[in-house]
Amino acid sequence: MNDNNPSPVIVTTTLGKSVITSDQQSLTILSEINMNIQAGESVAIVGASGSGKSTLLGLLAGLDSATSGSVELLGHKLEPLDEDARAQLRLGRVGFVYQAFNLMENLNALENVMLPLELDRTVTEIDQRALDALCEVGLEHRLNHKPGQLSGGEQQRVALARAFVTQPEILFADEPTGNLDAATGREIIERLFSLQQQYRTTLVMVTHDDQLAARCDRQLHLAEGRFLEQIAGQQ
């Protein structure tokens, strides 16, 4: 993987986000973000807490809309799209892994993994595919357990299975090890990278763990809503 890949999956130009705070003041969270992420690339967004990493990730994934500049995701400009259209764009092509797992508390592991498949009417063999995904993360024996009955590491593995079950083109991860102990965190990261390699998924990962960031192709340093510099990762 390298910078010469001809097909960028994410392109931003002078992307910015500002919000109106409760005391009627305008607060700029992000500004002048220009970036270009190629298919199959893995990019780490690093920075101090509160620097705007999550906000940026949300804009890239179309979970939120920008207040200036533009985002192009999978060849589509997001600005003209409404929420439904952005959701349609994500369906089956974009996966998420969060710091807080964000599983449906009331569905069991299998049902959680089946959910993204069920939302897509064209998908078949939902059960089998969800089962396979859970086997890949080593949870075939916990199919009927609800998130509340699983450890943090296991919950994050279910989240990984849910993210990869649709074989997405892009995976967004927001501090995926933030709620886990070091050993479990390492295990999750190993699984994440191995799945990413296997499915040639583009990875955009927010982290403040330098070691973890170093495993990505590129690192983008965010400070006070701007990129400090763009450092090339290990080649």
Partner 1 sequence: MNWFTMIKQQWRQRWRLPEVRLMLLALALSVTAVTAVGFVTDRIIFAMMGQATELQGGDLVLTSARPPDPGYLQKAQSMGLATATVTQFPSMVVASEKLQLAQVKVVSSNYPLKGALKIRSQSTNVSSAVGSGPAVGNAWVDPRLSASLDLLPGNVVELGKNVLNIDAIVTQMPDQGVNAFQFAPVIVINEHDLEATGLLTAASRARFLFLFAGEPETIERYTSWLKAQLKVTERIRTLEDGMPAVQQALERAQGFLGLAALLSVILAGAAIALTSHSLGKREAKSIAILKTLGATQKELLWRLGQSQMLLVAAASLIGIFAGFLIQFLLGFFIRQWIQTELPLPGITPALVGIGTAFIMTLGFSTPFLFRQISTAPMNVLQDRPVKHTVAGRVTILSALGGVYLLMWLQSHDLKLSLIILVATVIAIGLFTLTAIILLRLLKYIARRYRNTRHLLPADNARFILLLVIFGTGFFSLLHLTSLRTDLIQRWSDSLPTNAPNHFLVNIQPEERETFSGFAVNKQISADLYPMTRGRLVAINANSVGPDDYTDDRAKRLLEREFNLSSTARLSNSNKIVAGQWFSADTRSGLSVEEDIAKTLGFGLGDRLQFDIAGQRITEQVTSIRKVRWDSMEPNFFVITAPGLLEDLPKTFITSIYIPTDRHGLIPQLIDEFPGVTVIDISAIMQQVRGMIDKASLAVQSVFSMTLIAGLLVLYAALQSQRRSRQKEIAILKSLGARKRQIRTMLIFEFSILGGLSGLVAAIFSIALSNYLAWFLFEMEPAFNPGLIAFGSVAGAVLVGAAGYLNVRPLLRVPPILLLNQSAR
Ligand X SMILES: Nc1ncnc2c1ncn2[C@@H]1O[C@H](COP(=O)(O)OP(=O)(O)O)[C@@H](O)[C@H]1O
Residues near partner 1 (CB under 8 A) are: 54-55, 57-58, 61, 63-64, 83-84, 87-94, 96, 98-100, 102-107, 111, 114-116, 118-121, 123-124, 126, 148-149, 174, 178
Query: What 3-state DSSP class applies to 134?
Result: helix
Instruction: Candidates 54, 177, 202, 219: give the one binding Mg ion (CB under 5 A).
Output: 54
Give CA–CA dist 229/23, Å, rounded. 33
What is the footprint of Mg ion within residues 85-144 (CB under 5 A)? none
Task: Give the tokens for residue 39.
Answer: 């298919």
What is the footprint of ligand X within residues 41-60 (CB under 6 A)? 47, 49-55
Partner in contact with 52, chosen from Mg ion, partner 1, ligand X, none, beta carbon below 5 to 8 Å by kind: ligand X
Query: What 3-state DSSP class applies to 3?
Result: coil
Query: What 3-state DSSP class applies to 194?
Result: helix
Q: In angstroms, what is the minimal distance from the CB of 125 to ligand X?
A: 37
Asked whether 233 and 217 are in contact (CB, 8 A), the reply is yes
Give CA–CA dist 112/90, Å, rounded. 17
Residues near ligand X (CB under 6 A) are: 19, 21, 27, 29, 47, 49-55
Residues near Mg ion (CB under 5 A) are: 54
